[in-house]
Amino acid sequence: MTDLLVPGKRVAWGPLLLALTSGVLLALSFPNPGISLLAWCALVPLFSAAKEATPARAAQLGFLAGLVAYLGILYWLNIVMVSYGKLPSALSALLYLVLAAYLALYPALVLWLARTGELGGISSLCSFPVLWVAAELMRSFLLTGFPWANLGYSQYRTLPLIQISDITGVYGVSFLVAFANLVFFRMWLWLRRSDAYYPVRSFLALLVLVAATLGYGFEALNRPEPGPLERVLLVQGNVPQQLKWDPAFAAASVDTYERLSRQECRTPGTLVVWPESALPFFLQSEPQYAARVQSLAAELKSCLVAGSPAFEREGELTRYLNSAFLIAPSGALAGRSDKQHLVPFGEYVPLKGLFPFVNKLVEGIGDFSPGRSLKPLDTEAGKIGVLVCFEGIFPEISRAYVRQGAGLLVNITNDAWFGRSSAPYQHLSMTVFRAVENRVPLVRAANTGISAIIDSKGHVRGMTQLFQEATLAGQVRRGTGGSFYSRHGDLFALACLATSLGGILSLWYRGRKKISANA
């Protein structure tokens, strides 16, 4: 946006308004309101704005669109930072703006590279969707990774469309939607008679891709699920966040989960799941509470998964962990799964010496360390992979569990931090893809909601309301984890990244060659 700062330079407001419109449409594509159809045309105004732009100007417009989109999608961060992090509103707004600006760098980079390639003779129809997927993959890993609101996630309710995720992961859906945006833009140009390009071939290519995707999707939805049935019971205690870590309220929390479990668990052999930190104390050092929970599992004759912090002694050092404990139907402690991917500034403060003002964000839940190993828990019905909190948004973690034999994914979380915002719905939408990618069901127990049962095809078989004390019972059919994605991972996204790097090197080489020829 540097041209806005040049004295006497006339500002072209039209392209800026078009880029802003794309940002708004992108934000509306995700929950809530989750108008998924908008994602298919959200980028058309941005393409129109950048059509005749220089690469640098295209990057500026891409940044503006991305900034507006992420400000709209992630507005709930202010609830977390002000209500629970106790940060001043001004500082919260600044950090929120910084994160949105960082995320907006990715669409800016994509627009810059696509426009540069176009000027170098590479069609944006070929480059843009590939670059978009490559950028999403990089965003999933750089700076600990934050793959929130990848473009494909906007389509989580369109089940025939997302079945290709068992081959390509969510990135295949992102690719298709990005490609469709470019085709619709070219069709719009042709209809306005502002471009001599006749978009028949690109439109036919889109039709073939969509038809093939939907054909595969309907076939996948009609496949029988071969695995055995398992009963599950998800318990949503609705414990207020301001009371959750109050020691005086610990007994009441346990009482709530015991009562709801006894009321609804009527069949032995049920997998009972309590949310993240349902036990707001160290189960290892609270024998009285541990005995109550263990005797409950024995009484119900069922496996019980309960979230609780844990600790490990290493000489004089103590490591604190965000964990899930498995209690067998006999009442014995049968295993523990430790969270691997921690929330920066939520469960630990990276570069703590540089961010002393952020210490209050982790107050109440401690400064955690990541678990040392990732392994499924063994229940009577088979192995389960436990995803603690936002581990459900990282596909590589779910895949690792399934690769080790987990036939069921269990997501325990506490989304009370987000209040009555869009965040719990956005969080849920991403876990739908984890089930489809690996062809295993996923059950989700959340302290204040949304708790849900999702089958291996992405159907949400049941879900609770926010901020209600509730239980959710159902049956899931265990998966075998034999999908292409489970076996091979993000090959599609990695191919897009490799292709993008190859294109960049080609453009650089041609540029160097041209300079040498003119010298």
pLDDT tens readout for residues 252-295 = 999 999 999 999 999 999 999 999 999 999 999 999 999 999 99
Identify whether 45 is preceded by a cis peptide bond (ω within 30 of 0).
no
The mean pLDDT value for 471-495 works out to: 96
User: Residues 143-148: contacts with CB within 8 Å, 24+ apart?
Assistant: 143/102, 144/341, 144/344, 144/350, 145/341, 145/394, 146/103, 147/393, 147/394, 147/430, 148/73, 148/74, 148/393, 148/426, 148/430
Q: Which residues are catalytic?
A: 276, 339, 389
Residue 147: pLDDT band (50, 70, 90) is very high
The predicted-structure confidence for 36-47, as pLDDT tens digits, reads as follows 999 999 999 999
The predicted-structure confidence for 80-115, as pLDDT tens digits, reads as follows 989 887 889 999 999 999 999 999 999 999 999 999
DSSP-derived letter for residue 348 is B
What are the residues whose beta carbons fall under 8 Å from the beta carbon of 244, sequence distance 6 or more? Answer: 253, 277, 280, 364, 414, 416, 447
Q: What is the pLDDT of residue 316?
A: 83
Residue 347: pLDDT band (50, 70, 90) is confident
Q: What is the pLDDT of residue 5?
A: 43
**Residue 4 pLDDT more than 70?**
no
Q: What is the pLDDT of residue 350?
A: 66
Residue 362: pLDDT band (50, 70, 90) is very low
Burial class (CB in 10 A: 0-12, 13-18, 19+), 267: exposed
The mean pLDDT value for 460-470 works out to: 97
**Residue 7 pLDDT more than 60?**
no
Q: What is the pLDDT of residue 2?
A: 44
**For residue 180, which of 158, 488, 196, 193 has the smallest C-alpha distance?**
158
The predicted-structure confidence for 391-422, as pLDDT tens digits, reads as follows 999 999 999 999 999 999 999 999 998 999 99
**Residue 186 pLDDT more than 60?**
yes
Residue 479: pLDDT band (50, 70, 90) is very high
CA distance 190 to 182: 13
Give the SS3 label for residue 430.
helix
This prediction has a pTM of 0.93
The mean pLDDT value for 121-127 works out to: 89
Give the SS3 label for residue 443.
strand
For the domain bounded by 229-488, which CATH number is listed? 3.60.110.10
Number of residues assigned to the chain? 519
**Residue 196 pLDDT more than 80?**
no
**Domain extent listing, the chain:** 11-222+490-518, 229-488
